[in-house]
Amino acid sequence: MWSALEKMPAPATTYERIVYKNPSEHHYMKVCLEFQDRGVGLNAAQFKQLLISALKDLFGEVDAALPLDILTYEEKTLSAILRICSSGLVKLWSSLTLLGSYKGKKCAFRVIQVSPFLLALSGNSRELVLD
């Protein structure tokens, strides 16, 4: 039986393994800020100031200087799309989780979607309405 296996010809196909590590340097987050009371408004600059102060509280001045960008911001719904470099994603997310208040008013960040590709944030299967 072993001699029969040895006489079998080698397979003609060669296998090639491609490892695709995430090449995207940025991660994109869709977040929404919720306040306990209604009627609190922030403009884009105040929103960014809030994010940076959250990072500074937890991780200090070094990580408050991470290259963070707000790509879109809606003042009515207080939702935004943020861009952060991939090494800083965990730090930003954890500092958003631990942010409790803005100027004495209680608030919380809801993270709706996170993706290394911006195109993925355009459609969200959770908000899909099936007829």
Partner 1 sequence: MVRFKHRYLLCEVVSDDPRCRLSLEDRVLGGLIRDTIARVHGTFGAASCSIGFAVRYLNAYTGIVLLRCRKEFYQLVCSALPFITYLENKGHRYPCFLNTLHVGGTIRTCQKFLIRYNRRQLLILLQNCTDEGEREAIQKSVTRSCLLEERSDEEELSDNGGEEAAEAME
Provide the binding-site residues for partner 1, judged by CB under 8 A.
55-63
Q: Are 93 and 30 in contact (CB under 8 A)?
A: no
| Least distance to partner 1, CB of residue 55, Å | 8
| Least distance to partner 1, CB of residue 69, Å | 21
| Least distance to partner 1, CB of residue 109, Å | 17
Which CB atom, from 9 or from 67, has the smaller least distance to partner 1? Answer: 67
Can you tell me the distance from the alpha carbon of 125 to that of 128, in angstroms, rounded to the nearest whole number?
A: 5
Which CB atom, from 30 or from 95, has the smaller least distance to partner 1? Answer: 95
Phi then psi dihedrals of residue 119, to 5 deg: -60, -30
| Least distance to partner 1, CB of residue 28, Å | 24
Can you tell me the distance from the alpha carbon of 13 to that of 3, in angstroms, rounded to the nearest whole number?
A: 23
Longest CA–CA span in the chain (Å) reads 83
Which CB atom, from 57 or from 75, has the smaller least distance to partner 1? Answer: 57
Scanning 65-115, the segments in alpha helix (DSSP H) are 89-97
Which CB atom, from 1 or from 62, has the smaller least distance to partner 1? Answer: 62
Q: Is the dihedral of CA 47, 51, 57, 62 positive or negative?
A: negative
